[in-house]
């Protein structure tokens, strides 16, 4: 983006001048984000007319959305698949993997058991660490599937990441509540 006109139609990677790849240099992404934010921040355009101010606000909003997408591995994976014309339908996309469905049930039970344990904080911490490790392995698996062009498997990986992200968020909420109760 070396021209003075912001082009909101660029895809998220183009917006930051990055190649559309899963393995990103997050430091480089952050650096380019800061540069774009500085350049297009609405406060820098307060002297402009109403149209210029509105365009600056739209640019800043678009930059923020693209940054959120690219810095999150699951959202970046999903976005890359969308660029490859792989569609997601939240209502219909279900995992037809009985082994993973069983794992989901077991993990939810483990969450409930950890919450009820006498040392709930330690149990939840351990479960959180274990799930983060599994999520990391899943991210690596997505990277392999995507690089190999096995997009159906890559899509299944993203759907599984969604489950792990939701469960990790639930654990973090419960940990926070327990820590607040201890204070």
Q: Give 136-183 as a DSSP string.
A: HHHHHHHHHHHHHT-HHHHHHHHHHHHHHHHHHHHHHHHHHHHHHHH-
Contact indicator for 40, 60 with CB cutoff of 8 Å: yes
pLDDT at residue number 89: 82
pTM of the model: 0.85
With bands split at pLDDT 50, 70 and 90, how would you rate the model's confidence at 47? confident
Q: Which residue segments constitute the domains of the chain, with CATH numbers given? A: 12-71 (1.10.287.110), 98-182 (1.20.1280.20)
Burial of 35 (0-12, 13-18, 19+ CB in 10 A): middle
With bands split at pLDDT 50, 70 and 90, how would you rate the model's confidence at 4? low
pLDDT at residue number 95: 65
Distance CA 63, CA 61 (A): 5
With bands split at pLDDT 50, 70 and 90, how would you rate the model's confidence at 84? very high
Give the model confidence (pLDDT) of 131-158 as tens digits: 999 999 999 999 999 999 999 999 999 9
How high does pLDDT run on average in the chain?
A: 90
Distance CA 61, CA 94 (A): 32
- Can you read off the two tokens belonging to residue 97? 């993997």
User: Any alpha helices (H) in the chain, and if so which ranges?
Assistant: 12-15, 26-40, 50-71, 73-83, 98-116, 120-148, 151-182
- Number of neighbouring beta carbons within 10 Å of residue 27: 8
Q: What proportion of the chain, given as a percentage, has pLDDT over 70?
A: 95
């Amino acid at each position: 983006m070396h021209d003075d006109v912001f082009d909101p139609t660029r895809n998220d990677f183009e917006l930051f001048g990055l190649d559309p790849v899963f393995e990103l240099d997050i430091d480089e992404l952050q650096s380019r984000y800061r540069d774009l934010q500085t350049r297009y921040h609405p406060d820098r355009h307060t002297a402009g007319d109403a149209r210029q101010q509105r365009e600056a606000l739209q640019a800043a909003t678009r930059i923020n959305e693209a940054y959120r997408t690219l810095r999150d591995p699951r959202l970046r994976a999903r976005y890359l698949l969308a660029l490859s014309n792989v569609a997601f339908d939240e209502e219909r996309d279900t995992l037809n993997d009985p082994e993973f469905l069983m794992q989901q049930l077991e993990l939810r039970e483990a969450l409930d058991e950890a919450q009820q344990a006498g040392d709930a904080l330690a149990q939840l911490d351990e479960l959180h660490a274990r799930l983060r490790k599994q999520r990391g392995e899943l991210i690596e698996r997505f990277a392999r599937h995507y690089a190999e062009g096995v997009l159906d498997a890559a899509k299944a990986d993203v759907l599984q990441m969604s489950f792990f992200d939701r469960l990790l968020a639930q654990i973090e909420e419960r940990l926070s509540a327990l820590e607040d109760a201890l204070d």
